[in-house]
Chains A and B, each alone.
Chain A
Amino acid sequence: MHPFTYTRVDDVEAASAAVTTDAVSRAVQGPDDTVFIAGGTTQLDLMRDGVWSPGTLVDVSRLPLADVELDEDTLVVGAAVTMADLARHEAVADLDVLRDSLLLAASPQLRSMATVGGNVLQRTRCRYFRDPEVTQCNKRRPGSGCAAIEGTARTHAVLGVDAGCIAVHASDLAVALVTLDARVRLHGPDGGRTIPVADLHVRADVDPARDNVLAAGELVTHLEIPVPDARTGYLKVRDRASYEFALTSAAVVARVEDGILAHVAVGLGGVGSVPWRATRAEEVLRGQRASLALFEQAAAAELADAFTVPGTDFKPELARRTLVRQLRDVTEVTA
């Protein structure tokens, strides 16, 4: 690990002022960069791997951003709230998609450490990205190529990717958030702005070297999560029964009225370079009579243009099945 300076800040203004470059948005950080650390569960792992070597860490874990409030039909969650605290908060007790996306992630210890702000900004698990000795990585060294394309890619993405980078965004929570139309409040040197979580991340097929759209000094301060008038659910498919990232996952928000999908939102995890909102599937589903055949059609539409390599060729099929299963279970459609 490269030597670094550590400071802790007590207010949001000081945090924003401390970070003067766009380092937080880049896939890699170097000795000239000052970046935030909160729970540290991604940051330290990447620093230990030698992928990140920031010169200064600004600890934002103790900022007064640890409250969960219900404002009308919107949950406002401070960015420093831990995954564990949000998962056990009474406000999410009936919001299955959110609660399960938290409880099916990581482990109890990690959920006690990791903040929700850090979670949505977590970085890819691509082992080629995470090993600095690998020379071909368009995230770390733009223009150098992608070792994963020819390499071992079972856990990689098939949507929002191309031959330049197939890194997956591994957050479960972020998939639930994009499906719930959640927004993220940012605070920067020039004040605040609020953007949809769906606009927070940068697709690998757009720019693999940039992970998110945060400007210099911008800090995630809150998540705004609309509570839908609908049934919801999150299904995570993985080799191991627990403590593993998703091979595939599906977040579903749906309200069926007289057999018709009056409201539907769908997200996919484990398959996208960003938390994937399945808009093509939604187009097929919206306003239609819920049926297993319709779900199959919607899932097929979403995965139709999947980009696969030999290691990921099973993923579109597994993702389709995951989505169909979860649509079925949330809508309780039987045929």
Chain B
Amino acid sequence: MTTTTNAPAGTATPVLGAGVTRVDGPLKVTGAVPYADDLAPRDALVGVLVGSTIAAGQISLVDASDALAAPGVVAVISHHDAPSVVRPNEASADERAPRPPFQDATVRFHGDHVAMVVAQTREEAVHAATLLHVSYDVSEPVVDLNDPRATREDDDPAGADSTRGDLERGLAEADVVVAADYVTGDNTNNPIGLFAACAEWDGESLHMWATTQWPSNTADCLAEAWGVPREDVRVECPYLGGGFGSGLRPWPYIHAAAIAAKVVGRPVRVVLSRPQMFTDVGHRPETVQHVRLGARRDGTLTAVEHTATIPVAVDDDNPENVVSGTRQGYAVEHLRADVDQVRLHISPPGSMRAPGEAQGNFALETALDELAVELDIDPVRLRLHNDATTNPDQDDLPWSSKALDQCLRRGAELIGWDDRDPAPRSMRDGDQLIGYGVAAVSFFYFQQPCTVRVVVRRDGTAAVHCAAMDIGTGTYTVVTQVAAERLGLGLGDVEVVLGDSSLPPSPPAGGSGLATAISNAVALAVTAVLDDLDLSGAPGRDALSRAVGARDEVAAEATAEPPDPAEMGMSPSGAFGAKFARVRVDADLGLVRVERLVSVIDCGQVLNERTARSQVIGGAVGGIGHALLEHTVTDLHAGPQTGRITNAHMADYLIAVNADVPDLEVEFVGGPDRLNPVGVKGVGEVGLCGVAAAIGNAVFHATGRRVRRLPITPDLLL
């Protein structure tokens, strides 16, 4: 086994950029793709989770007598009788994993797990769940971010807070200061695939098929929870029906399946309902942010202050860095960034598609637009003028790659930026006001260790094994490409096996970090196996077969570790991007429709032009929803039901539909990143970021109305 950090750049392989079709595509278009629940043993019992009807208090009694008497019911499990399991830590050790369910009588949010009904069929379990009688000692919940009773945490778990220079001095040096508050609503990930878990025990060994973006960590947490050896826990999830961050944590429903299977001594399947998808697998927390910018008349930023308040669940950890983009986005000497968390009786927030960054970017990039108006400077020029050519957040080290200036210039060209009339409310077509907006994105760099095993078989074909998940972004395909490229094989000669915790450990499919980690691990493991075979270059199938000789196969593992920036003498770059929107706003009705959306992205080496483009397109669609539609609404007033989500239904929680989305223009600029041999930077989340601000800025240009709140709905524009 080889462990090494990434080698310096220079060995990137541009042919990888070719857009081959997805290797798993035929499975998906024919419906043959096995998601977690499809792999569950067919004789498994069905478990249905029952949520609390209050947001805070104690369960005094779960009376299961009627439910147990209902047809098909096998068991009802609650804190009265559930086996004890330990609350594990996430792999990032200072963060507690979500609490396993049924461990105490405390209710911490509306929908918190009170019990599970296990029955022969889903129909029976769902009905029996309505026959449970749960009594509570109700406490007054705190569910409003502005509630003065809420506990405010300022211990900075995300490492978000930062001070550079002297903010007051920077403000004093400014000719113009703009300051405003920005609010972003709570969003719910809502992947189309309902999350599912099935557990089967064999003595003390646990086998689970569960929706997750991180099989390694899920298995680690289950082993810790049950106090069993890690090798006795296996979590399989070869595919999932979307995650967008909601599959990153080992959520209670996974534990619930394991607990239930333990109790009844048979496999138990749990499939969350759509309403449960709003409370059981995380959500993007709302934010209240304040941004203050100081600048000289020529547009030079002298001071940036960005503070944010976001909620976190009681008794949970979910660090969310709302200000990361602000800290590294622009060259400014004086900066203060600060994120405070407020504890609320809400379901635990988690990551959702560019967590923190999506909300923070909206505030910063809207504020920059306001500054541009105040200074009467072109918003694109303002951003170019303050482009940080070194990382101001990391000792001014040079970036490992950065082409934000190209993103902005090319995007402006594509959308016809200079052809617009820059005056607000100056462009009109009948009832429709037309506006253009821009936003820039400096996404953070994230890489964690990843181990891959490459196996070369006697016939010269190869297999790549890794616990990592393909969440639909194309991991199967790009891993196939990287391995095939470096082994000199055709794509059809490489089998990629992912999504199984019994394979070499991987980081999460999240943080835009997997492609970098796994592609470099594959490159290293290929090098290792070729070393073992006394081969070099990309030898091809015949040479591989000859080298393996009479053996069945030859395998090697390698781990790609994140490099040390100081040692490298450069600051690792995440992706950069520029977003340009052209919107139409009905002058009377306030309806905003996106007419054009241009994304120009610097994500280093593009591993697969086709799937990378799809990721950016998909992010842009998510961004349209973030900007105009999505809002998870929690009831703040309605008596005993306070704290309840009022739109936990796919007809009421609005995500963009096909008709909301124009043709989306995507271009990639820049070149291979210098930090790693493959030259790749993650492209998973840069696609969504900046879209909301670009649309909001376009709405301002169209209407002259500045909306500092997401989503931007018609009622805000009347």
- Whether both chains belong to one complex is answered with yes
On A, residues with C-beta under 8 Å from B are: 1-3, 50, 125, 127-128, 130-131, 133-136, 147-148, 150-152, 154-155, 237, 239-245, 247, 314, 317-318, 321-322, 324-325
A125-B652, A325-B589 known; A151 vs B660 contact (CB < 8 Å): no
Residues of B within 8 A of A125 (CB): 651-652
Residues of B within 8 A of A239 (CB): 628-629, 654, 711, 713-714
Segment 617-665 of B: residues with Cβ below 8 Å from A: 628-629, 633, 635-641, 644, 646-647, 649, 651-652, 654, 656-660
Interface of B is mostly: loop
Quote the shortest CB–CB distance from B566 to chain A (angstroms): 49
* Total number of residue pairs linking A and B with CB closer than 8 Å: 99
Is B130 an interface position by the 8 A CB rule?
yes
Is B588 an interface position by the 8 A CB rule?
yes
Quote the shortest CB–CB distance from B695 to chain A (angstroms): 14
A239-B654, A240-B629, A240-B660 known; A318 vs B589 contact (CB < 8 Å): yes
Specify which of B588, B651, B660 is in contact with A242 (CB 8 Å cutoff). Answer: B660
Residues of A within 8 A of B396 (CB): none
Contact between B647 and A127, CB atoms less than 8 A apart: yes
A87 to B590, alpha carbons, bound, how many Å?
28
Beta-carbon nearest neighbor of B661 in chain A: A241
Contact between A127 and B652, CB atoms less than 8 A apart: yes
In the assembled complex, 28 residue pairs joining A and B whose CB atoms fall closer than 8 Å, in A order, are A2-B127, A127-B652, A128-B646, A130-B649, A134-B641, A135-B639, A135-B641, A136-B639, A150-B638, A151-B636, A152-B635, A152-B646, A237-B589, A239-B628, A239-B654, A240-B629, A240-B657, A240-B660, A241-B657, A242-B657, A247-B715, A314-B714, A314-B718, A317-B718, A318-B590, A318-B718, A321-B588, A321-B718
Is B53 an interface position by the 8 A CB rule?
yes
Contact between B589 and A242, CB atoms less than 8 A apart: no
Quote the shortest CB–CB distance from B233 to chain A (angstroms): 35
Is B91 an interface position by the 8 A CB rule?
no
Q: Which 5 A-B pairs have the closest CB atoms?
A: A314-B715, A242-B659, A151-B638, A241-B659, A147-B638
Residues of B within 8 A of A244 (CB): 651, 654
Quote the shortest CB–CB distance from B111 to chain A (angstroms): 10
Quote the shortest CB–CB distance from B109 to chain A (angstroms): 14
On B, residues with C-beta under 8 Å from A are: 53, 71, 123, 126-127, 130, 431, 588-591, 593, 628-629, 633, 635-641, 644, 646-647, 649, 651-652, 654, 656-660, 711, 713-715, 718
Quote the shortest CB–CB distance from A235 to chain B (angstroms): 9
Residues of A within 8 A of B660 (CB): 240-242
Beta-carbon nearest neighbor of A314 in chain B: B715
Beta-carbon nearest neighbor of B649 in chain A: A127
Quote the shortest CB–CB distance from A319 to chain B (angstroms): 11
Residues of B within 8 A of A243 (CB): 657, 659
A130 to B647, alpha carbons, bound, how many Å?
10
Beta-carbon nearest neighbor of A130 in chain B: B649
Contact between A136 and B638, CB atoms less than 8 A apart: yes
Residues of B within 8 A of A150 (CB): 637-639
Residues of A within 8 A of B658 (CB): 242
Contact between B715 and A318, CB atoms less than 8 A apart: yes
A150 to B639, alpha carbons, bound, how many Å?
8
Residues of B within 8 A of A127 (CB): 646-647, 649, 652
Most buried by B among A2, A152, A154, A317: A152
Residues of A within 8 A of B640 (CB): 135
Contact between A131 and B715, CB atoms less than 8 A apart: no
Quote the shortest CB–CB distance from B432 to chain A (angstroms): 12
Beta-carbon nearest neighbor of A242 in chain B: B659
Specify which of B127, B431, B639 is in contact with A1 (CB 8 Å cutoff). Answer: B127
Contact between A3 and B638, CB atoms less than 8 A apart: no
A179 to B628, alpha carbons, bound, how many Å?
32
Quote the shortest CB–CB distance from B675 to chain A (angstroms): 41
Specify which of B591, B628, B637, B656 is in contact with A237 (CB 8 Å cutoff). Answer: B591
